[in-house]
Amino acid sequence: MAKIKSHYDIVIIGSGMGGLVAANIMAREGKTVCVLEKNNQFGGNLQTFVRDRTIFDTGVHYVGGLSKGQNLYRYFDYLDILDGLELKKLDENAYDVITFDNDDIEYPHGQGYENFKKQLVKYFPEEEKAIEAYCIKLQEICRKFPLYNLEAGKPYGNDPELFEQSAKDYIDSITNNKKLRAVLAGSNLLYAGIADKTPIYVHALSINSYIQSSFRCANGGSQITKLLVKRLKEKGGEAYNHQEVVKINCIDKKITSVITSHGQEITGDKYISNIEPKVTLKMVGAEHFRKSYNSRIQNLESTVSAFSIHIVLKPKSFKYINKNYYHFTNCEKVWTGHEYTQKTWPETYMVSMGVRKNQDEWGDQLTAITYMRYDEVEQWEDTFNTVAQKSDRGEAYEKFKNDKAEAFLTALEKKFPNIRECVQSLHTSTPLSYRDYIGCTRGSMYGYVKDIKDPLLSFISPRTKIENLYFTGQSLNMHGILGVTISGVVTCSEILGGEYLIEKIIQRTKK
């Protein structure tokens, strides 16, 4: 096992995208940096896994904003990871399609705002003004978030209306057409939208970059992680897997060291936690924080979890599809898929296919994801199962997974009638899988729920109540590749100075 030095300028706990971005930024600034990761793989939701010699993504199935000059492109350019990326652009006229039971039409989301409008107007010719208004609104909202556009300023803008209007209310306000409402909101599995809670800005920031451009990572999203780790090491930084931090020592409102599961003690001047704030506070100890602060964090509502089936396809049995499907049993389920009953599950799902570097007409694999509440697996929550820590959850759990997979496959057959005969092998992920590998409370998909009724509640500052401890990752502002990249920038801005850092990024990425 690699010997870790005893002291660093910056110690980063967890190697999700936010942590790796922060590590790269600080190493570029000449700091000594150490990243500690509990899993075999670095990367959090960017981890991949292999079944039957076939690569599957854990959480990131496509990325947006990666065409030249767009926001994620410029951040990746600054991080110097563009050249090594193998990408496949999704269908320009339908990167996502929204579908419903008893309706054969595949309603398209096209890339580029003019094209987005053009593709939808084909199916809703009388709704052109509503579609135009929607496109204008999304772009207006995104312009109000400076870091989203690589500009100096607060990470979350200044307009209170952005936080007080729900996405559903806005979409309902521009059209009475129920099908169009459902189609515009149809990819909300990207952010686990809730009708009476999710603000319009969450919808806009999640969807906008995909409309700008949408890509799949050939052979999995872990290539992003590998490039970030490579660049980190080139700058003198260090990253260690199988090094779970089990204790964070704190004396007089200052972190003094972290202890790993192997008993190693590592000290640093500053510590950045890329693990969930709720978990971080427990590891430090609630007694080191004000009761009100600790209570606020611990009582934040986590977003719903997911159940996924990962299908290895028989050779040359199922054509590769260069788009994603978001399917609903009917229009009314777009905002309520997480409120399923055992009889109605799954009411909504997303289907995405992996892509090879030299993709031909045949697909290798298919992943389907739907909502699952954590309480369905709560009886097994005392078991943990990762590459590093194997445990048998028992026959009842295996039966539960098999029954759910069967129900899910039956639902998929309505959309893809020949899917069963194409299955070479089928594998599942439950809320416990997400909890164990990603370290999120109750297997939460996207951190904490954003709620229009209390918009500031779920905003967590990267600065904690301990002077040398900082947060980063999807729980801060926004989830997703772009969201957590920005979170890494926000966290480092607190240490280095906001205008200084964003100016460096802007200068580096000017074309």
Give which of 327, 320, 306 is closest to 366, Cα–Cα.
320
- Cα-flanking dihedrals φ and ψ of residue 330, to 5°? -160, 175
Q: Identify the helix (H) or strand (E) that includes residue 226.
A: helix 222-234
In a domain, 476, yes or no: yes
Cα–Cα dist 354/92, whole Å = 17
In a domain, 350, yes or no: no
Cα–Cα dist 119/167, whole Å = 22
Q: Are 21 and 485 in contact (CB under 8 A)?
A: yes
Tens digit of each residue's pLDDT (9 = 90 or more) over 193-204 = 999 999 999 999
Cα–Cα dist 239/227, whole Å = 13
Scan for tokens 């010699």, then name that residue. 53
Torsion of Cα atoms, 138 then 329 then 427 then 423, to 10°: -110
Give the residue ranges of the chain where pLDDT is below 70. 1-2, 154-158, 387-389, 510-511
Per-residue confidence (pLDDT) for residue 305, from 0 to 100: 97
Contacts with 49 (C-beta within 8 Å, 6 or more apart), sequence order = 55, 56, 58
Per-residue confidence (pLDDT) for residue 117, from 0 to 100: 98
Contacts with 234 (C-beta within 8 Å, 6 or more apart), sequence order = none
Per-residue confidence (pLDDT) for residue 157, from 0 to 100: 60
Prior bond of 146 cis (ω within 30°) = no
CATH number of the CATH domain containing 244 = 3.50.50.60
b or e along 201-212 (b: 16 or more beta carbons within 10 Å of the residue's beta carbon)? Answer: bbbbbbbbbbbb
By residue count, the chain amounts to 511
Q: How many domains does the chain have?
A: 1
Pairing of strands 265-273, 305-313: unpaired
In a domain, 179, yes or no: no
Per-residue confidence (pLDDT) for residue 419, from 0 to 100: 97
In a domain, 398, yes or no: no
Per-residue confidence (pLDDT) for residue 511, from 0 to 100: 53
Per-residue confidence (pLDDT) for residue 159, from 0 to 100: 73
Per-residue confidence (pLDDT) for residue 384, from 0 to 100: 86
Q: How far apart are the first and last CA of the chain?
A: 44
How far CA 47 is from CA of 52, 233, 304, 366, 474, in Å, comes to 17, 19, 20, 17, 15
Per-residue confidence (pLDDT) for residue 362, from 0 to 100: 97
Per-residue confidence (pLDDT) for residue 7, from 0 to 100: 94
Structure tokens given for 134:
């929607």
In a domain, 247, yes or no: yes
The rounded mean pLDDT for the chain is 93
In a domain, 32, yes or no: yes
Torsion of Cα atoms, 308 then 313 then 319 then 322, to 10°: 40
In a domain, 25, yes or no: yes
pTM listed for this prediction: 0.95
Q: Are 95 and 215 in contact (CB under 8 A)?
A: no
Which domain, by its residues, includes 225?
A: 7-49+56-87+218-300+454-509
How far CA 191 is from CA of 68, 205, 335, 450, in Å, comes to 25, 10, 11, 10
Cα–Cα dist 139/205, whole Å = 9
Q: How many CA atoms lie within 13 A of 480 on its CB side?
A: 24
In a domain, 157, yes or no: no
Fill in the DSSP letter of residue 463: B
Fill in the DSSP letter of residue 320: -
